[in-house]
Structure 1
Amino acid sequence: MSLTCLGAIRSSYHKFSEKEKKIADYILEKPELVIHQAINEVANDLNIADATVFRFSKRIGFKGFQAMKIALASELLMQKRSDQEEPTTNDDEMTLTKKIFNSNIKILQNTLDMIDKHSLKKAIENIHMAKRVEFYGTGRSAVIAMDAAQKFMNAGLRAAAFPDPSFQLMSATHLTKDDVAIFISHSGSNKETMNILKAANAAGAKTIGITAFPKSPISLNVNIGLYTYADGTEYLPLEFASQVAQICLIDALCYHIFQQKSQRTS
């Protein structure tokens, strides 16, 4: 699988220095401009050295700035082709169904490209060693959290989730350093979920966030961040698209735990 530029930036954003975040923000906000710029033009716009931009390109897995631009251009072209395949009123049943499936496949593949293997491994280890795992989310994310808790219980863990935010907050205050709290939020900035996260951190629990935005308050305040990709369209809003990736990521975590539990008992 070829390395994607935007995915690599999003997955590693939380590890960047301030200068690296400056470059990352520039590329994320102006990808169409960057593919036509020379390295010195990017450096001049950001008032940093050419070498800093070059090192950033290598930091996210490319041989240099030119290789990063080629990957970025290819990524933008694929996105444009995907946009041209959006459903229309002229589509028959099978054509429409194929387009929806292809859109979800793209979201899952982009999320897979964004996953940082070290963060994933650490999350799995923390969940496996936890005495209790609790899932938190509000609105649509509460439904994902409830489903996740049931799956992890089936995998042999003590897991729980509560639909009401007030119960979630109460539960978070009773967590311990041996517990893991997993926060699900597309935006990563929901105020109720953020208050629950503060309570979990104060209680000493290990915290994991599943969001679509590495720079969000929740992402910046959890111990481990796992990120989903969501490319909203007119027919599929961002939050709906994000749920596809959230469910798949949770399923992957759950299967890892189930596998480890099975190995211990065999």
Structure 2
Amino acid sequence: MNLETDLKAVGPRIRMMMPLLTPLEARVVETVFALRTFDDETSLKEIAAEAGVSEAMVVKITKKLGFAGYREFRSAVTQYNRLPTAEMHQELSIEDTSQEIIQKVFRTSIHALEETLSIMNVEAFDRAADLIHGARNRDFYGVGGSAQIARDTSHKFLRIGVRSQVYDDSHMMLMSASLLGEGDVAIGFSHSGNTVAVIEAIQLARKNGARTIAITNYNASPLAQQSDVVLCSTAQGSPLMGENAAARIAQLNILDAVFVAVAQRDYRAAEKNLSKTMAAVTSKRKDKFL
């Protein structure tokens, strides 16, 4: 991994640790990222005063985030903020023109893709592909927007003959999980990783011997902690769009890559099934008459 890739991962790795911080600790981190003047000259005393906490508290937080101390934290964040991609994320405003809205929305998604790529764990990716490919049953759990991502993923897999079921109701999730066992896989989709219905279903599936995979924005979330494999997206929050919008794009790309990896594990069968499923829906296309 090169230096630039390491630097791109600084912001995402700090954001993924946020669920482990107390509200006060999180406020200190948010204070740092909100400071436009934060650089190599920003003293520990300045940050402590700005956040209204002690210098010892700031040092403790930087260590909790995985840094040796304030100086290492300051250096990493300063270099991260100088990256071209870090400038892509810009808040939307009610004064924005249509051109500015388009630019900001697209750049936010590009930013999420760049940073998600920088933190991708190839070992976890391969393990997820192996589990999905070899599973007897594949049950997907998600609610709201996450359920839509689960459905998109299920649709992709069906095209190559890899069958799965999507559940977006808490009772149905638990019923599904109660029937899973060894040789099966349950995949929980939750941006926050805090969706109770999904966590409970994944817990039950795991208790019954199924392997579990989490698709989430936070690798320290409750859902991630209950999963054998975690595939993480990363996206910065936006008051208007929320984190979910950009994270959705990143998660769909992760799952597109998983889909290709699963197909690759038995390419001949995938190619054969893809021809069958494409032929089955040809009669529904208008262009055949053109």
When residues 120 and 10 of structure 1 are mapped into structure 2, their CA distance, relative to the original with a 3 A threshold, is farther
Displacement of 1:190 after TM fit?
A: 1.1
Alpha-carbon distance in structure 1 between the residues aligned to 2:170 and 2:183: 22
Quote the residue 2:284 is aligned against. none
Displacement of 1:131 after TM fit?
A: 1.8
Alpha-carbon distance in structure 2 between the residues aligned to 1:116 and 1:28: 28
1:89 aligns with 2:89: no
1:62-115 Cα shifts (integer Å, max 9, x gaps): xx99676434213234577335463553413x4432321111111111111122
Q: In the comparison of the two structures, how many residue pairs are matched?
A: 243
Secondary structure of residue in 2 paired with 1:2 = helix
Quote the residue 1:2 is aligned against. 5
1:120 aligns with 2:119: no
Displacement of 1:192 after TM fit?
A: 1.1
Kindly indicate whether the alpha-carbon contact (under 8 Å) linking 2:88 and 2:104 is maintained by their aligned counterparts in 1: no
- Please report the TM-score for the alignment, with normalisation by the length of structure 2: 0.70
Quote the residue 1:258 is aligned against. 263
1:243-266 Cα shifts (integer Å, max 9, x gaps): 222212111111111122215778
1:207 aligned to 184, 202, 212, which one? 212
For structure 1, the residue ranges without an aligned partner over 5 or more in a row are: 14-20, 59-63
Kindly indicate whether the alpha-carbon contact (under 8 Å) linking 1:119 and 1:225 is maintained by their aligned counterparts in 2: yes
1:242 aligned to 221, 238, 247, which one? 247
1:206-249 Cα shifts (integer Å, max 9, x gaps): 00001112221111111111111121213311223322222121
1:136-159 Cα shifts (integer Å, max 9, x gaps): 111221121122111112132121
When residues 165 and 237 of structure 1 are mapped into structure 2, their CA distance, relative to the original with a 3 A threshold, is same
1:156-195 Cα shifts (integer Å, max 9, x gaps): 2121112322222211111121011110001111111111
When residues 119 and 67 of structure 1 are mapped into structure 2, their CA distance, relative to the original with a 3 A threshold, is same
State the AA in 2 paired with 1:121.
D
Secondary structure of residue in 2 paired with 1:215 = coil
When residues 8 and 28 of structure 1 are mapped into structure 2, their CA distance, relative to the original with a 3 A threshold, is farther
State the AA in 1 paired with 2:248.
Q
Secondary structure of residue in 1 paired with 2:188 = strand
In the TM superposition, what are the counterparts of 1:128-207 in structure 2 within 5 Å? 128-207=133-212
1:76 aligns with 2:81: yes
Quote the residue 2:277 is aligned against. none
When residues 84 and 197 of structure 1 are mapped into structure 2, their CA distance, relative to the original with a 3 A threshold, is closer
Quote the residue 1:30 is aligned against. 29
Q: Percent identity of the aligned residues?
A: 25
Kindly indicate whether the alpha-carbon contact (under 8 Å) linking 1:5 and 1:68 is maintained by their aligned counterparts in 2: no
Alpha-carbon distance in structure 2 between the residues aligned to 1:80 and 1:116: 21
Aligned Cα root-mean-square deviation (Å): 3.5
For structure 2, the residue ranges without an aligned partner over 5 or more in a row are: 49-54, 272-290
1:100 aligns with 2:105: yes
1:231 aligned to 236, 242, 247, which one? 236
Alpha-carbon distance in structure 2 between the residues aligned to 1:114 and 1:29: 24
Kindly indicate whether the alpha-carbon contact (under 8 Å) linking 1:155 and 1:254 is maintained by their aligned counterparts in 2: no
Alpha-carbon distance in structure 1 between the residues aligned to 2:168 and 2:148: 7
Alpha-carbon distance in structure 1 between the residues aligned to 2:70 and 2:260: 38
